[in-house]
Amino acid sequence: MASEPKHSRISQELLAEIAAGKYAPAGRLPSEAQLVSRFGVSRPTVARALRDLQDRGLIERRVGSGTYVRGPGAAGSADVPRQFGLLIPGLGTTEIFEVICGELAGLARVHGYGLLWGGGHRRPQEDVGVEDAEELCEQFVKSQVAGVFFAPFEHTDRREEVNRGLAERLRRAGLAVVLLDRDLGAFPARSEFDLVGVDNFAGGYALAEHLLKLGCRDLAFAVRPHSAPTVNARIAGAREAILARGLPVPQKFVRMGEPDDPKYALGFLGRDRVDAILCASDHVAAVLLRSLERTGARVPADVRLVGFDDVRFATLLSAPLTTMHQPCREIAVVAFRTMLDRIADPTLPPRGLTLTPSLVVRESCGAYPAQGVNARRAARADSKAPRSV
């Protein structure tokens, strides 16, 4: 920005280079004379920029020797910013983030850190749009937080472009970034940021395998438009489970639409009828369950249904939901440790840390009691059998 002080611009650019690993831990930075030449500013301006970094505990200036990046243990010292930022656009609508963020708040408090939710207040970011997220990024930069936990946007046009822009803005400012649950781009590509979540491929595989063991053969995957990369990983895992059984993947396996649309729900029951529906999330499953019931379909007697997340309302549906449990508290613990590691040593390679989800079996899959799909198959076969006169 044109109004940004020169010394601030210099310190942020140097900080971004340190975070990107351009200078090894305890490595030497360019001399003041070299920085004066590089940025075309006066020596006092460079000295002010270096003093800003020194005040944050990120560099140390040795008389007669030069300026050095502080070693890996230095980031835990008292003069480093003791505050983290939370950029969670889906916090108001995605229940797993409530648990993860609550646990992060507790961990931050125990370790002597504050947590900035946005606007200087500790409050949920409900209905955060792209412009809101950009403003939050600027607040985090101005507040000089040590790092930001970021759960990228989904169900948003240009989501990859938006997510990358936000993450890069934070990195250019020298802030550590740890992604929660999902990456910036499409599966299976990986970004250059740390990511903590669950093994979504394994989760999708386990759900499909469970349904196949119950006798289902015609499966479909229900997904909303512009879903997160995690959903693509779940789809890939489910496909692999079908292939592992020696079965063909249905041509219309992935069915995209809005689960509250009656026409979308009817599509699972018409000519392209399926035995079971794997849903991208528990929220999609809950809404689709309601839409199916409005058409007169019964879950699991007419069609089986499974979700992903194991949120609180999963047990409160008319057919309690079979789903994959996400270990939210463990995700928070690993994410917090990853953030501390990233701050302590910005030169670490980007890491993807995945925890294992677990299958939770309830009534919606038809396992209790074991009827529905097989009974319906028998009824179909009986209806097609020749009748004696």
Residues 379, 269 share a domain: yes
Which of 46, 76, 106 corresponds to the end of one domain? 76
> What residues does 148 pair with on adjacent strands?
85, 177
Residues 141, 269 share a domain: no
Is 1 among the domain residues?
A: no
Two tokens, residue 257: 């639409």
Note the pLDDT of residue 158.
83
CA 254 to the chain's CA centroid: 21
Q: Could you tell me if 288 and 277 are in contact, meaning their C-beta atoms sit under 8 angstroms apart? A: yes
Two tokens, residue 227: 């879903």
Give 237-252 as a DSSP string. Answer: HHHHHHHHTT-PPPTT
- Kindly give the pairing relationship between strand 59-62 and strand 66-69: antiparallel
Backbone phi, psi, residue 80, to 5°: -85, 145
Count the domains in the chain. Answer: 3
Interatomic CA distance for residues 387 and 389, integer angstroms: 6
The CATH number of residue 233's host domain is 3.40.50.2300
Residues 120, 66 share a domain: no
| pTM over the 0.85 mark | no
The CATH number of residue 13's host domain is 1.10.10.10
Residues 145, 40 share a domain: no
pLDDT digits (tens, 9 = 90+) for 274-333: 999 999 999 999 999 999 999 999 999 999 999 999 988 888 999 999 999 999 989 999
pLDDT digits (tens, 9 = 90+) for 221-247: 999 998 888 999 999 999 999 999 999
Dihedral of the alpha carbons of 56, 58, 62, 65, in degrees to the nearest 10: -140
- Kindly give the pairing relationship between strand 323-325 and strand 358-360: antiparallel
Note the pLDDT of residue 93.
66
Residues 235, 370 share a domain: yes
Residues 6+ apart with CB under 8 A from 196: 178, 179, 180, 181, 331, 334, 335, 338, 353, 354, 355
- Mean of pLDDT values over 78-86: 73
Residues 242, 318 share a domain: yes
Domain around 13: 6-76
Q: Return the higher-pLDDT residue of 146 and 112.
A: 146
**Helix, strand, coil distribution of the chain in percent, nearest 5:** 45, 15, 40
Residues 334, 223 share a domain: no
Q: Could you tell me if 322 and 210 are in contact, meaning their C-beta atoms sit under 8 angstroms apart? A: yes
Residues 240, 376 share a domain: yes
DSSP class of residue 387 equals: P
Which of 33, 61, 76 corresponds to the end of one domain? 76
Two tokens, residue 247: 């079965």
